[in-house]
Amino acid sequence: MGVGALGPPARSGAATLKKRPTVGRPPGRPMDLRVVEKEHDLLRVEFPRGEETLLIPLVEALQKEEKVVEARYYLGHPYLERPTLLLKTKGEKPQQVLKRVLKDLTDLYADLLTDFEKKADKVKA
């Protein structure tokens, strides 16, 4: 039996785990962001395809900021458009707000990683 449209036929017996591919971009490689619109109170940034899950916690954190009037994202067509963040502020440049929130999220996830590493080392396999 040959390879079908959904891949090779399943083998009987124990399943083997394959090495999982790296999720996202390779470590150390900068994300390809594009600032497509920049005004004194508005910023629109396109993210690479495949990085849209980052937009959910980012927009949630931005919406908690006092100076943010509007923070949202849209995905558009998956093959034709890139995920886009729209940030509108009042009384502070949107670039400053975005930088601050990104730093806060970076610190939050770094703390989470540190805490996980400490606790994971205590668990015996």
Nearest to 71 by CA among 58, 52, 80: 58
Residue 67, burial from CB neighbour count under 10 angstroms (0-12, 13-18, 19+) = middle
pTM of the model: 0.70
Please name every residue paired with 42 in a beta bridge, in sequence order, or none if there are none.
88
Q: How far apart are CA 47 and CA 55, in angstroms?
A: 9
Characterize 81-93 residue by residue with b for buried, 16 or more Cβ atoms within 10 angstroms of its Cβ, and e for exposed. Answer: ebbbbbbbbeeee
Nearest to 53 by CA among 23, 26, 29, 32: 23
DSSP per-residue string spanning 58-75: HHHHHHTSTTEEEEEEE-
Per-residue pLDDT of the chain (125 residues; tens, 9 = 90+): 444 445 444 444 444 445 545 555 566 677 788 899 999 999 999 988 877 788 999 999 999 999 999 999 999 888 888 999 999 999 999 999 999 999 999 998 888 888 888 888 777 76
Burial of residue 105 (number of CB atoms within 10 Å: 0-12, 13-18, 19+)? middle
Q: Which domains does the chain have, with CATH numbers?
A: 34-118 (3.30.1360.10)
